[in-house]
Every structure is written in structure tokens, then in C-alpha cells.
């Protein structure tokens, strides 16, 4: 309603009604729609060895016109480690960091779509990024070198030691096997491919064989792409298994009459087939 007044101070007035068009006001809230998805909770999967690329694309529509209908995207929760980014115009979610299935199997992001109005309205959608496991960790031996002692003549199939490796992967990717691939003791020991238990094989003779054997052992993942190596050092210790034996069963000596005390009468000799101190003979 518009009023006019006579400037002559006489109380004469008139009125008329006018319609003034106002600028468009944002009235509709954007609705989050993911690419190929129609719900507000979306899911994507990414291999843990992927380092870059688009993870998913979210799309929000706004029925308003002009700047009020322009939608921008932002990650508003769940990205504390800065592993992801979003293109504010297209809604494309990008991977920006390294994922690790063993550390975290999934990431939940909150994506916000906001309009361009002066009084901004927004809506949110959740994106769950599941990390797919890959065999990215090799088996690792707990020791690089193992040192053990085994008495000579130990029976075959006797326990010697156990080598242990661990794989930081999960489930089927954490599986691996052990094997002997070389060394001077390759033919004198066996290795259980699953448990890593080492056992004797054949006769270990201190007197006839080596005093120390070396065995090279590997742990290999299922597809053979990753491995680790350890070395087993086995010292063979002698056993006092032989008695000293005289070279003769009887000795006969001649002594001159009047020989002084301490005079040499003769000598006897015994031998011991053992080695080291075990083969030293004392006479009584």
C-alpha cells in the first residue's frame, strides 16, 4: 500500500497498491545422491596398495536457481589423518595417503553438500571406505641366526630346535611355509614346513664328520613373491663313547738285577678313539 499527501497541508490523500518483485530466496535443501547410489549411506572399496585416484563420487542436487542452487562439497568428519580429499565442485572423493588394512580396515567419512545462499543450508551423506587386504608384508624371522648344540650319535628324527617367522598380514595373506635351501647340513636335518621344527636326519658322528653344520632356511608366502632368510648353526659335541684299549693284551719286560729305583722297565700304550679330552688316556 502506497500513500500520497497533498503538500498544501490540506488533508487530502490517496492510496494505491503495488507489487514489488524480490530476488529469489533459497527454499530447497540439497539432497545427497551418490553416483550409482540412492541412499544417504554409501560404501566404496579400495585396495590397501592403492596410493592415488578417485575412491567414489557423490552428487547432490538443488532445485533452486542461480547461486542459491550451486552445491559445494566438503569432508566434515572422519578424515583426521588426511587420507582423503573431495573436489568441492564435482563431489569426487580422492585418496591422498597410504592405507593399511592391518591398522584400519575401514574409514567412515561424513560428506557435506552446502548451497550458495547467504543463509547456507546443507545436507550430509556418509561414505564408508572399506580397505581391501593385499599380501604386502613378507614373513620375517624372529632371529637372523640360530645357534644350537647336538650330541654326536643323536638318533634320527630327534628334535633340534624351532625357527619362527611372523607375517604382519591378516588371514590368508599371513600364511607361509618354511624350507631348507642349502648349507653343509642340508642333508643331515629336516624341517617341518608349517611349524618350523628342525629334526636330525641320519648319523652325526663327531669323529668322522664335521664339527659344525650350517643350514640355510627360508620362509616364503603362498605365492612365492616374498621371503625371508635365516641361518641355523649346529655344533656337534662329542660323547665319551669309546674305552681306551691297550695295543697288546700282555706285556713282558726284563729287569737287570740291581737296577736302581726309578729305572725304566718298559712302556705300555693304550689308545682311545674319542676326540678331544675324551680321547686322552691316563694310566694308573
User: In the structure grid, which three cell numbers stand for residue 137, read together?
Assistant: 608384508
Q: In the predicted model, is pLDDT for residue 4 greater than 60?
A: no
| pLDDT for the residue numbered 26 | 42
Quick: pLDDT tens for 23-51: 344 445 555 433 332 457 899 999 999 99
Q: How far apart are CA 32 and CA 29, in angstroms?
A: 10
User: In the structure grid, which three cell numbers stand for residue 65, read together?
Assistant: 536457481
Those residues with Cβ within 8 angstroms of residue 23's Cβ, 6 or more apart along the chain or in another chain = none
The residue with greater pLDDT, 138 or 41, is: 138
In this chain, the answer to whether the domains covering 31-132 and 140-237 adopt an identical fold is: yes
What is the residue extent of each domain of the chain?
31-132, 140-237, 243-284
Q: How far apart are CA 129 and CA 272, in angstroms?
A: 76
User: In the structure grid, which three cell numbers stand for residue 5, read together?
Assistant: 499527501
User: In the structure grid, which three cell numbers stand for residue 83, read together?
Assistant: 587420507
| pLDDT for the residue numbered 178 | 98
Quick: pLDDT tens for 231-272: 999 998 877 667 888 888 888 888 888 888 888 888 888 887
**Which CATH number describes the domain made up of 31-132?**
2.60.40.60
Q: Residue 206 — pLDDT band, cuts 50, 70, 90?
A: low
Q: How far apart are CA 237 and CA 150, in angstroms?
A: 6
Q: Which fold has domain 140-237?
A: Immunoglobulin-like (2.60.40)
Beta strands 84-86; 2-5: pairing state: unpaired
Which residues pair with residue 59 across a beta bridge? 33
The backbone torsions φ and ψ at residue 95, rounded to the nearest 5 degrees and listed phi first, read -85, 130
Q: Residue 5 — pLDDT band, cuts 50, 70, 90?
A: low
The residue with greater pLDDT, 1 or 220, is: 220
Amino acid at each position: 500500500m502506497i500513500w500520497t499527501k497533498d503538500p498544501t497541508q490540506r488533508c487530502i490523500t490517496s492510496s494505491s497498491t503495488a507489487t514489488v518483485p524480490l530476488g529469489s530466496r533459497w527454499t530447497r535443501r540439497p539432497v545427497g545422491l551418490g553416483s550409482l547410489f540412492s541412499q544417504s549411506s554409501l560404501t566404496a572399496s579400495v585396495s590397501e596398495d592403492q596410493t592415488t585416484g578417485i575412491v567414489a563420487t557423490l552428487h547432490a542436487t538443488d532445485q533452486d536457481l542461480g547461486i542459491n542452487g550451486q552445491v559445494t562439497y566438503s569432508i566434515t568428519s572422519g578424515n583426521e589423518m588426511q587420507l582423503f580429499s573431495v573436489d568441492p565442485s564435482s563431489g569426487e572423493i580422492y585418496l591422498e595417503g597410504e592405507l593399511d588394512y592391518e591398522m584400519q580396515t575401514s574409514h567412515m567419512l561424513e560428506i557435506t553438500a552446502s548451497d550458495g545462499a547467504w543463509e547456507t543450508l546443507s545436507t550430509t551423506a556418509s561414505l564408508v571406505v572399506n580397505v581391501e587386504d593385499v599380501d604386502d608384508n613378507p614373513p620375517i624371522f624372529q632371529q637372523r641366526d640360530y645357534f644350537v648344540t647336538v650330541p654326536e650319535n643323536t638318533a634320527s628324527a630327534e628334535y633340534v630346535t624351532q625357527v619362527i617367522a611372523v607375517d604382519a598380514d591378516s588371514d590368508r595373506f599371513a600364511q607361509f611355509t618354511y624350507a631348507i635351501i642349502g648349507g653343509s647340513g642340508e642333508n643331515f636335518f629336516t624341517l617341518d614346513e608349517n611349524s618350523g621344527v628342525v629334526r636330525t636326519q641320519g648319523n652325526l658322528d663327531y669323529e668322522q664328520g664335521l664339527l659344525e653344520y650350517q643350514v640355510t632356511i627360508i620362509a616364503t608366502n603362498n605365492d612365492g613373491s616374498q621371503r625371508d632368510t635365516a641361518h641355523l648353526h649346529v655344533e656337534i659335541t662329542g660323547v665319551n663313547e669309546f674305552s681306551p684299549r691297550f695295543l697288546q693284551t700282555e706285556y713282558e719286560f726284563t729287569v737287570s738285577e740291581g737296577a736302581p729305583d726309578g729305572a725304566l722297565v718298559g712302556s705300555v700304550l693304550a689308545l682311545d678313539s674319542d676326540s678331544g679330552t675324551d680321547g686322552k688316556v691316563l694310566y694308573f
